[in-house]
Structure 1
Amino acid sequence: METIVLIVHVLLAAAIIALILLQQGKGAEAGASFGGGASQTVFGSDGSGSFLGRVTAILAAGIFITSFVLAVFAKDKAQTIGDAGIPDAATIEAAAPAQQAPVAEVPAVKESEIPSAGNN
């Protein structure tokens, strides 16, 4: 079920991107006064703006719904993992005994082996 919702979500996202790219910007209306209005007859006298705007709003609502459903799936999955007894990092650190790193022994240096600043 989660996979189906995820596929629908991705398809809705691709469709809304395509619809946004198809829509004309606000500056495109100025060209209509110079004879560019013939291409808007397919969608009626209002042009494609209202139709594409409604479809974009419907797709945005679909993305919202699928995002919400995916969030519920993720919450349920996280809760199931927590209930399964899988310990988190704090529990693992508390249960593990503290181990000290081995200390390397450094041989002692005699004073006669240390060069002085005055003996160049």
Structure 2
Amino acid sequence: MYEVLIVIYLIVALAIIGLVLIQQGKGADMGASFGSGASGSVFGSSGAGSFLTRSTGVLATLFFIISLLLGTLTSERSNKTSEFENLATEQVDAAKPPVAEKDPASENGSVPK
């Protein structure tokens, strides 16, 4: 599920980028009124702006929701990973043979008589 959300997240992000680049700025409306042909477009004279704005808003909402879901899933994954790491180190420590303490006299190089 995590990988599917990542793919959807990337697609939504690229779609938002595309929609923002397609949209015209506020200053372009004056040029449209002097006969640049905007009234003959696919969406009509004012339909393109509202359609693109609405689409961008929907995609931005999806982007935000998926971001929250991915953040939640990532935190759950890291908690599970740390639990498994703790369990693994406990098992390794339990499997090690006990270490015998060294005699201080043998550390000096002297041999007991």
Structure 1 length-normalised TM: 0.66
Deviation at 1:69, TM superposition (A): 1.1
Question: 1:32 is aligned with what amino acid?
Answer: A
1:61 — aligned with what? 61
CA distance in 1, matches of 2:47, 2:26: 13
1:36 — aligned with what? 36
| 4+ residue runs over 3 A deviation | 37-41
Task: Name the % identity.
Answer: 44
CA distance in 1, matches of 2:40, 2:23: 12
Note if contact 1:13-1:63 (Cα within 8 Å) is conserved in structure 2.
Answer: yes
Q: 5+ unaligned residues in a row in structure 1: which ranges?
A: 88-120
2:79 — aligned with what? 79
2:8 — aligned with what? 8
Identify the structure with the greater helix proportion: 2
Q: 5+ unaligned residues in a row in structure 2: which ranges?
A: 90-113
Report the count of equivalent residues.
87
Note if contact 2:39-2:45 (Cα within 8 Å) is conserved in structure 1.
Answer: no
Deviation at 1:40, TM superposition (A): 5.2
CA distance in 2, matches of 1:40, 1:80: 57
Structure 2 length-normalised TM: 0.69
CA distance in 2, matches of 1:33, 1:63: 34
2:97 — aligned with what? none
Note if contact 1:5-1:70 (Cα within 8 Å) is conserved in structure 2.
Answer: yes
Considering only CA atoms, is the larger Rg found in Structure 1 or Structure 2?
Answer: 1
Is the partner of 2:46 in helix, strand or coil? Answer: coil
The alignment's C-alpha RMSD in Å is 1.8
